[in-house]
Amino acid sequence: MKKNILFIVFLLLVGFTASSQIEDRFEIRHLTDVNTKNSDFGVSYYGKNQVIFASSRKIRSVRNRTWRQNSQPYLDLYLGFVAENGDILGSTLFSSEINTRYHESNVAFTPDLKTVYFTRNNYFGKKYKKDEDGMNHLKLLRAHLKEDGTWGDFEELTFNSDLYSVGHPTLSKDGKTLYFISDMPGGEGNTDIYFVQLSEGGSYGSPINAGPIVNTRSREMFPYLSESGALYFSSDGRTGLGNLDVYKSIISENGTVYSNPENLGNRINSTKDDFAFIIDEETLSGYFSSNRDGGKGDDDIYYFKETVVCEQYANGVVRDKRSGALLAGAMVTLYKDGVIIEKVKTGDNARFAFTVECQSNYKVVGTKKGCSQDSEEFITTAEADFELDFTLELMDEGIVEINGKDFIKIDPIYFDLNKSKIRPNASIELEKVIAVMKRYPQMIVQLGSHTDSRYSHEYNEALSSRRAASSLKYITSRGIDRTRIFGRGYGETQLVNWCSDGKSCSEEEHQLNRRTEFVIIRYN
């Protein structure tokens, strides 16, 4: 019956080895006062020394209804008071306006505590709605605090649907970004983490998927944004310690997750479900929920205290070495003492980030298909929370340097004797040129066409010019702007071998001189 309330409500309606440093970081304690034999989970901070959590404890005076999936009462939101030692005491029903006859759970408050986002069954305006299969999904609602201290002006968020679930809200410190969970179509897997930007007037944009670095083909749930901007969430889509494990990821200023999620180790995580992690970074303490062995019954709330550890963040960006362009899709690997510690694939912002230990030697290697490898070694200091920032520069393998000049790397383009028509094998090479130029939109290229020494100089110069024009026409017909490439015929003035006038050479030797080359004049 474990996780029935959490997962059946949300999901039917909706190789890791922890380092000793991570394992030793947390001291945890089961809270006997707040937990019951039923499900208690999902703590949220509510001002100073108060928290809100969900529970199916049986204390309602009316509507003593039970949910058929686990024979427990429907979830309500409760208010608890936080003692100095972290215990949650004096639990009472939070709000008669928010709590209904169906499930409510997981709340997030704006910084002024005057607006609340919360999860509820698809029940609004006294209407209980189902999809075509008879499934009642979850929705994300918003309410505002009125002058008399009650909650009102309830509204559904516009990206809710009768066909999928939305829930588990968390807000950024400034209240401008809302993260949540949904199994809406188009995601990475079962349930994904999404976010939207909020305006001061309360409007918001379209949901944005947090992306494949954090989301998997399985379930990502219970996101929490700390004041420093770290994203904590639970997932069963990675090789963790049990079912749901708690992970931490670093996010960029625009809300895009870019660091590889870090498993919080085997004190926070267990062989069962561990979720709804929140932390007060000032006291380095917080709460999480779990159905691990040793609790009172179903999901229980646990308190933790984090000890100070010396760790740093190694941040960087991957760029093309020549153009300076950001390289999305690069694989960045962190090594310590020659052993791979972590890998991360860069997103559109081409950034990467790793959590590293103090006073240690590391190496970061960047690779990308079609590019050469680049690496950088660094030594961390003894200072905690010190951020390193460096750049890996990768060179495109489609470019080669010869005698101080940069060429687009292709096999030689040859022409038949006394001909300027593009041969089939030549078109294959010209497509390589086109691909490189499209990869670097500011690149300017000089096309040089050459002949062998047979026939007169005048004739060969005219022939090479026609060959240059033929190659130029092919390239521009494929979408390359005419201002980015210009051609010139050199005739027989730049032979690559000894086959000049009067020399006896084979046809194969003469053909080496009948070529077209592409010199890069400018990248940017």
Return the sign of the alpha-carbon dihedral for residues 296, 297, 303, 307.
positive
- Three-state secondary structure call for residue 185: coil
Q: How many Å apart are CA 263 and CA 248, to the nearest integer? A: 7
Q: Is the pLDDT of residue 14 over 60?
A: no
| C-alpha dist (Å) from residue 223 to 187, 191, 231, 286 | 16, 12, 7, 14
Please report the DSSP string for 453-514 in residue order: SSS-HHHHHHHHHHHHHHHHHHHHTTT--GGGEEEEE-TTTT-SSS--TT----HHHHHTTS
List the Cα angle 83/264/388 in 5-degree steps.
110
Q: Is the pLDDT of residue 17 over 50?
A: no
Q: How many Å apart are CA 463 and CA 457, to the nearest integer? A: 10
Contacts of 186 (CB under 8 A, 6+ apart): 209
Q: Max Cα separation, the chain?
A: 110
Contact 478, 519 (CB under 8 A): no
Tell me, what's the pLDDT at 16?
33
Contact 302, 294 (CB under 8 A): no
Q: What is the mean pLDDT of residues 332-354?
A: 87
Contact 30, 287 (CB under 8 A): no
Q: What is the mean pLDDT of residues 172-181?
A: 93
pLDDT tens profile 257-286:
567 898 999 899 999 999 999 999 889 999
| C-alpha dist (Å) from residue 135 to 77, 421, 487 | 23, 66, 66
Return the sign of the alpha-carbon dihedral for residues 322, 326, 327, 333.
positive
Q: Is the pLDDT of residue 61 over 50?
A: no
Please report the DSSP string for 121-183 in residue order: ESEETTEE---TTS---EEEEEEEE-TTS-EEEEEE-TT--SSS-EEEEEE-TTS-EEEEEE-
Q: What is the mean pLDDT of residues 180-184?
A: 96
Closest C-alpha to 83, from 26, 34, 28, 25: 34
Range 131-134 contact pairs with CB under 8 angstroms and sequence separation of 24 or more: 131/162, 131/163
Q: What pLDDT band is residue 69 in, cutting at 50, 70 and 90? A: low
List the Cα angle 157/162/165 in 5-degree steps.
70
Q: What is the mean pLDDT of residues 20-27?
A: 66
Core vs surface per residue 184-200: b (16+ CB within 10 A) or e: beebbebbbbbbbebee
Contact 446, 519 (CB under 8 A): yes
Tell me, what's the pLDDT at 370?
67
Q: How many Å apart are CA 234 and CA 219, to the nearest integer? A: 8
Q: Mean pLDDT of all residues in the chain? A: 84
- Three-state secondary structure call for residue 199: coil
Report the Cα–Cα distance between both ends of the chain, in Å, rounded.
Answer: 62
Q: How many Å apart are CA 191 and CA 214, to the nearest integer? A: 11
Query: Among 45-59, 161-175, 409-423, 451-465, which is the least confidently predicted range?
Result: 409-423
Residue 221 token pair: 């749930």
Percent of the chain with pLDDT over 70: 89
Q: Is the pLDDT of residue 10 over 50?
A: no
- Three-state secondary structure call for residue 50: strand
Query: Among 142-151, 370-379, 479-488, which is the least confidently predicted range?
Result: 370-379
Range 322-326 contact pairs with CB under 8 angstroms and sequence separation of 24 or more: 322/395, 322/396, 322/399, 322/406, 322/523, 323/440, 323/442, 323/443, 323/523, 323/524, 324/523, 324/524, 325/440, 326/350
Q: What pLDDT band is residue 395 in, cutting at 50, 70 and 90? A: confident
Q: What domains are defined for the chain?
A: 4-31+108-308 (2.120.10), 312-394 (2.60.40.1120), 399-522 (3.30.1330.60)
Q: What is the mean pLDDT of residues 399-411?
A: 81
Tell me, what's the pLDDT at 255?
60
Please report the DSSP string for 503-523 in residue order: ----HHHHHTTS-EEEEEEE-
Q: What pLDDT band is residue 15 in, cutting at 50, 70 and 90? A: very low
Contact 507, 499 (CB under 8 A): no
| C-alpha dist (Å) from residue 224 to 8, 247, 337, 472 | 21, 10, 33, 56
Contact 145, 115 (CB under 8 A): yes
Q: How many Å apart are CA 130 and CA 280, to the nearest integer? A: 38
Return the sign of the alpha-carbon dihedral for residues 126, 132, 134, 136.
negative
Contacts of 80 (CB under 8 A, 6+ apart): 34, 50, 51, 52, 53, 88, 89, 90, 91
Contact 258, 346 (CB under 8 A): yes
